[in-house]
Amino acid sequence: MNSEITERQTLIRGLGLIAAISVIIGNVIGTGVFLKARVMTCNVGSPEWVLLAWIAAGLLSLAGALTYAELTAMKPEAGGEYVFLRDSYGKSSSFLYGWMQIFIARPGSQAAAAVAFSIGLNDFLDNKLAATLTTLHLGGTTFDITTLQLVSVMVIIIFTTLNCASVTLTGQIATALTFVKMALILFVSVGAFVLVSGNFGHFSMLNTGGTCEGVAAAVTVGSPSYSFFGGFAAAMLGALWGYDGWNNLTFVAGEVKTPIGIYLWRSSAVRYLSSSSTSSRT
């Protein structure tokens, strides 16, 4: 067989430490923390329990991040979980996992992120994106096509196109967007204390009207069928969605310049921060 065909191709390792960190931060700090706070408050009913749900979900995510850091340092190949499954359980499981990611997991998560962006933009533009452009009738079912949906599709197309660019350019874009995102979050955080008279009463379930509209009764405080265990589990699920993305750097491990150093550095840094936090509390 031709050696050119059998030769294993390798990806360009163009992501440095800053770009790699930006990929993680850019994926973790997203829509979850902004969209899930309301629902989590409905699930558990008080800010204290909401914070506990965030802490519990954070510990689970921390355990996963430390584990993945070690695994990826051992196997610095593109594919992440695909590689782990392939080497552990064989090609069949990794093959199914890959197609599941392509057709179900990734399209669903990207669609949710794009819709969240469109909802925020629509609120900023005073509901101007909610207009119905056309209506489709398929199999007796009516589908309204709105400007909001088109904006969501365009967001997905734009970022997909950007990710098809060179590795170096993609890393630079990720770094720039991460700095912008962190600056905006810092502005909102500081502004909440300086410009607004905030208090925990705003998180109360009293006199909230339609605040919990759309949340299942079984996980909504005050409903006859409510279960606190189920409500707290639902709140943790929302927090886990907010933390989701800590594993995404593993998928581009084959494009990181010094994967072993970066992943072990991340693992050591997280361990140091977690141990320092524990020591300060004790």
What integer pLDDT is reported at residue 276 of this predicted model? 43
Q: Do residues 118 and 129 lie in contact, with contact meaning Cβ atoms separated by under 8 Å?
A: yes
222: left (phi over 0), alpha (psi -120 to 50) or beta: left
Q: What are residue 132's DSSP bridge partners?
A: 146
CA–CA distance, 146 with 211 (Å, rounded to integer): 24
Please state the pTM of the whole predicted model. Answer: 0.73
pLDDT value, residue 174: 82
- 115 touches 130 (CB < 8 A): no
SS3 143: strand
Distance CA 178, CA 29 (A): 9
Three-state DSSP class for residue 256: strand
The residues with which 135 forms a beta bridge, in sequence order, are 144
pLDDT tens for 183-200 read: 888 887 777 777 766 666
Neighbours of 219 (CB within 10 A): 25
Checking if the pLDDT of 4 tops 70, the result is no
Give the pLDDT confidence of 227-274 residue by residue, as tens digits: 889 999 999 998 998 888 888 877 877 777 766 555 555 555 544 444
Helices 259-281/47-74 angle, 10° precision: 150
Q: Which amino acid is at 207?
A: N
pLDDT at 200: 62
DSSP tag of 127: S
Angle at 109 between CA 103 and CA 112, to 5 degrees: 125
Domain extents in the chain: 11-281
- Does residue 208 register a pLDDT over 70? no
What's the pLDDT score for residue 199? 64
To the nearest whole number, what is the mean pLDDT of the chain? Answer: 79
Answer with the residue of higher pLDDT: 44 or 205.
44
Tokens at 257, concatenated: 């310049």
Query: Tokens 């300086």 correspond to what residue?
Result: 194
Residue whose structure tokens are 């933390």: 243
C-alpha distances (whole Å) from 174 to each of 9, 36, 154, 163 are: 25, 24, 18, 10
pLDDT-derived band of residue 151, with 50, 70 and 90 as boundaries? very high
Look at residue 156 in the predicted model and tell me its pLDDT.
Answer: 92
DSSP state of 15: B
Which residue is listed with tokens 């197609």?
99
